[in-house]
Amino acid sequence: GTQETYTLAHEENVRFVSEAWQQVEQQLGGGPAGESGPRPVQYVERTPNPRLQNFVPIDLDEWWAQQFLARITNCS
């Protein structure tokens, strides 16, 4: 099989997106008390697409952990 290689830039991009998403989730959940300013607006589909009924989003943290562990396993 082919082994994927990740550059430092790729890892930085993944980290950036992950941290930014965590901030958005925190703000959607109310965030820390005393915070002011614009809040994110959550989009809700009014007429959901029936083909997406069983869609399960990827858990990026879990996926990244699996990739990390696979690299460690392959290196040893």
As a whole number, the mean pLDDT across the chain is: 83
Query: pLDDT at position 7, please?
Result: 87
Per residue in 37-65, pLDDT (tens digit) is 677 788 888 998 999 889 988 888 888 88
Confidence at 32, pLDDT banded by 50, 70, 90: low
Q: Report which secondary-structure segment, H or E, holds 71.
A: helix 60-75
pLDDT at 34 over 60: no
Mean pLDDT computed over 15-41: 79
- The answer on pLDDT for 23 being more than 60 is yes
Residues 6+ apart with CB under 8 A from 61: 18
DSSP, collapsed to helix, strand or coil, labels residue 23 as helix
Enter the pTM of the model.
0.46
Distance of alpha carbon 19 from alpha carbon 13, whole angstroms: 10
